[in-house]
């Protein structure tokens, strides 16, 4: 039976509720926390450190911390642009987009591990994963490099990374290593597929080069959920090869090129009161643009494909529009308006999630026809009962989420 791990993709050290959720999970007996430097630009790792300050060393030893390396985003990317020498060979950097570079070079890995250990306030990391190495493949495809050539280069890069990881095992800074890859879960016929059957051979070679008695390649992480089951093939291979499997995205799933949140949400009881109160305040010429926006949002709350679409729209469109409007107004009590906006957006998101879950029920009814529980219970139970899955990574940003998820343990 699978166990649960605490996923920290959207966990921040400046959000007290997130840190409280981590503490609740630790107290409740969680045995693994999964993180990465690019989760909230290092904030997730710092949050873990803050949560652990409340516990003694024995409790810390009961919980495995898994982090990753590979992405150059945010502060990492700024640091690299200011000092490119942190990666010895520029050819080892994949410049995938203006805001996202990627590298699995040994020199970068060693530097990233040091930074993660500092943020985590630890001297040793239990397990260290290469994070989505397929960025090289994606870039090579865009550049028209042949399949054989790009796979040969991908294996060369992985071999070098494994050597660096074996060196860190030997030095005692990590206990083991592995790969987290979305490309383990795509069909083998896809150009984006990352072949995995030779990975253990690469690990054995790396151990021999470093002089370790055996390799410490122990872990793979990949998306597996009710809608995306292709990764189960990789999971079966991993178990046959003596590796453990961490399944991520159990509740965020792609089907027919659309994203779905596999969870039921309740309708907000306070939405209309919050909407009406804010619209009354905005019913004047100065705040007319905000009033119009509220009308449009109310009419569109059922039009988002999934909650992630709304979250992106919120920060890219809604917040800038509201900020621009408030900057032009001479309202004396702007703070009061901001408070009402914050309350409204909280309730609006609940309504969007509710509308999305209703659509999910309808559009994916065939997946849930044999399960009478909530959508999230059906999705989690699908993975719990998979012998090839060792850990299910679930984001638990609120204490209530922690208790809800951990209550599903059989």
Q: Report d(CA 65, CA 176) in Å as an integer.
A: 11
Percentage of residues in the chain with pLDDT exceeding 90? 88
Q: Tokens for 249, please give them.
A: 């995205």
Residue 34 has pLDDT above 70, yes or no: yes
Residue 332's pLDDT is what?
Answer: 62
Model pLDDT for residues 62-83, shown as the tens digit of each residue: 999 999 999 999 999 999 999 9
Residues 110 and 163 in one domain: yes
Tell me: pLDDT of 330 over 70.
no
Q: How far apart are CA 21 and CA 393, in angstroms?
A: 15
- For residue 290, give its domain range: 271-365
58 three-class SS: helix
Q: What sign does the CA torsion over 305, 306, 312, 313 have?
A: positive
Domain count, the chain: 2
Place of tokens 């290092």: 42
Specify the DSSP class assigned to residue 226: S
Asked whether residue 178 falls in the same domain as residue 201, the answer is yes
- Enumerate residues 6+ apart whose C-beta is below 8 A from 324: none
In a shared domain, residues 147 and 17: yes
94 and 154 housed in the same domain? yes
Q: Which of 165-174, 255-264, 286-295, 358-367 ranks highest by mean pLDDT?
A: 165-174
The pLDDT of residue 184 is above 90: yes
**CB under 8 Å to 146, separation ≥6 — which residues?**
none
Mean pLDDT computed over 116-121:
98
CA neighbor of 47 nearest in space, from 74, 15, 6, 75: 15
Does 250 lie in the same domain as 128?
yes
**pLDDT beyond 80 at 343:** yes
What does the alpha-carbon distance between residue 365 and residue 49 come to, in Å, rounded to a whole number? 42
Asked if residues 109 and 69 have their Cβ atoms less than 8 Å apart, the reply is yes
| Confidence band of 410 (pLDDT split at 50, 70, 90) | low
Instruction: Report yes or no: 68 and 131 within 8 Å, Cβ to Cβ.
Output: yes
Percent of the chain at pLDDT exceeding 70: 99
Tokens representing 37 are 């430097």
Domain CATH number, residue 12: 3.20.20.100
Kindly state the average pLDDT of the residues 246-253: 96
Beta bridge partners of 69: 130
User: Is the backbone of residue 265 left (phi > 0), alpha (psi -120 to 50) or beta?
Assistant: beta
333-355 average pLDDT score = 92
Q: Is residue 356 domain-shared with residue 209, that is, in the same domain?
A: no
Helix or strand holding residue 274 (H, E)? helix 271-281
Q: At residue 44, does pLDDT exceed 90?
A: yes
| Domain identity same for 76 and 104 | yes
Mean pLDDT (whole number) for 272-297: 92
149 and 290 part of one domain: no
């Amino acid at each position: 039976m699978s166990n649960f791990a605490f996923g920290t993709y959207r966990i921040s050290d400046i959000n007290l509720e997130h840190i409280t959720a981590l503490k609740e999970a630790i107290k409740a007996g969680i045995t693994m926390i999964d993180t990465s430097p690019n989760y909230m630009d290092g904030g997730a790792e710092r949050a873990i450190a803050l949560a652990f300050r409340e516990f003694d060393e024995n409790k810390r030893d009961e919980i495995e911390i898994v982090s990753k390396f590979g992405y150059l985003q945010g502060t990492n990317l700024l640091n690299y642009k200011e000092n490119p020498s942190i990666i010895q060979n520029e050819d080892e950097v994949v410049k995938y987009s203006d805001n996202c570079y990627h590298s699995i070079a040994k020199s970068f890995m060693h530097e990233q591990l040091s930074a993660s250990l500092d943020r985590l306030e630890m001297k040793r990391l239990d397990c260290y994963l290469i994070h989505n190495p397929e960025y090289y493949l994606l870039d090579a495809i865009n550049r028209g490099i042949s399949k054989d050539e790009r796979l040969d280069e991908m294996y060369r890069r992985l071999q070098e990374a494994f050597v660096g990881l074996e060196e860190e095992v030997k030095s005692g800074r990590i206990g083991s290593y592995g790969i987290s890859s979305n490309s383990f879960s795509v069909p083998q016929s896809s150009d984006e597929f990352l072949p995995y059957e030779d990975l253990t051979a690469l690990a054995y070679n790396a151990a021999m080069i470093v002089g370790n008695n055996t390799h410490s390649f122990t872990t793979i992480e990949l998306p597996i959920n009710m809608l995306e089951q292709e990764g189960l093939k990789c999971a079966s291979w991993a178990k046959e090869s003596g590796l453990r499997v961490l399944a991520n995205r159990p509740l965020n799933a792609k089907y027919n090129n659309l994203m779905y949140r596999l969870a039921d949400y309740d309708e907000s009881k306070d939405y209309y009161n919050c909407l009406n109160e804010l619209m009354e305040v905005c019913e004047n010429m100065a705040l007319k643009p905000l009033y119009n926006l509220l009308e449009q949002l109310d009419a569109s709350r059922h039009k988002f494909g999934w909650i992630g679409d709304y979250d992106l729209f919120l920060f890219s469109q809604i917040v800038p529009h509201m900020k621009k409007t408030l900057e032009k107004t001479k309202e004396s009590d702007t703070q009061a308006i901001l408070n009402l906006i914050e309350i409204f957006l909280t309730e609006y998101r609940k309504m969007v999630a509710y509308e999305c879950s209703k659509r999910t029920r309808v559009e994916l009814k065939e997946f849930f026809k044999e399960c009478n529980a909530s959508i999230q219970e059906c999705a989690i139970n699908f993975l719990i009962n998979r012998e090839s899955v060792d850990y299910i990574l679930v984001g638990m940003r609120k204490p209530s989420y922690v208790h809800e998820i951990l209550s599903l343990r059989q």
